Amino acid sequence: MTVSAEKFQKARITFRKDHTEELWSIRVRPEHTIPFKPGQYGTLGIEEEGKIVERAYSICSSPHEDEVEFFFELVRIGRLTPPLYHRQAGDLLLMRHNAKGVFTLDGKSGHRQHLLICTVTGIAPYVSMARMLTHEARQGRPVDARLVVLHAASHSWEFAYREELDALAREFPWLTYIPLVSRPWEDLEWKGEVGRVEDVLRKYSDELGLEPQDTTVYLCGHPQMIENAKGILRRRGFAKEFIREEVYWVPKKEAG
Ligand SMILES: Cc1cc2nc3c(=O)[nH]c(=O)nc-3n(C[C@H](O)[C@H](O)[C@H](O)COP(=O)(O)OP(=O)(O)OC[C@H]3O[C@@H](n4cnc5c(N)ncnc54)[C@H](O)[C@@H]3O)c2cc1C
pTM: 0.97
For residue 49, pLDDT over 50 is answered with yes
> Which of 37, 43, 57, 77 should be mutated for ligand 1, with most atoms under 8 A from CB?
57
Is residue 74 lining ligand 1, measured as CB closer than 6 Å? no
Q: What is the pLDDT of residue 140?
A: 97
Is residue 57 lining ligand 1, measured as CB closer than 6 Å? yes
232 in the same domain as 117: yes
What residue owns the CA closest to ligand 1's atom 33? 78
User: What is the tens place of the pLDDT at every residue in 208-226?
Assistant: 999 999 999 999 999 999 9
Give alpha helix (H) positions in 31-171.
81-85, 124-138, 162-171
Q: Is residue 224 part of a domain?
A: yes
For residue 1, pLDDT over 60 is answered with no
R_g over Cα of the chain: 18
Q: Please provide the average confidence, as pLDDT, over all residues in the chain.
A: 96
Is residue 83 lining ligand 1, measured as CB closer than 6 Å? no
Q: Is residue 237 part of a domain?
A: yes
Give strand ranges (E) for 101-242: 113-119, 146-153, 175-181, 193-194, 215-221
Q: Is residue 60 part of a domain?
A: yes
Reduce the DSSP state of residue 242 to 3 states and report it: helix
Q: What is the CATH number of the domain that holds 70?
A: 2.40.30.10
Q: Is residue 1 part of a domain?
A: no
Domain that holds residue 79: 8-96
Residues 6+ apart with CB under 8 A from 66: 29, 33
Q: Is residue 105 part of a domain?
A: no
d(CA 44, ligand 1 centre) in Å: 12
d(CA 61, ligand 1 centre) in Å: 19
143 in the same domain as 80: no
The total domain count for the chain is 2
User: What is the tens place of the pLDDT at every residue in 149-179?
Assistant: 999 999 999 999 999 999 999 999 999 999 9
Residues paired with 72 in a beta bridge: 24
Q: What is the pLDDT of residue 239?
A: 97
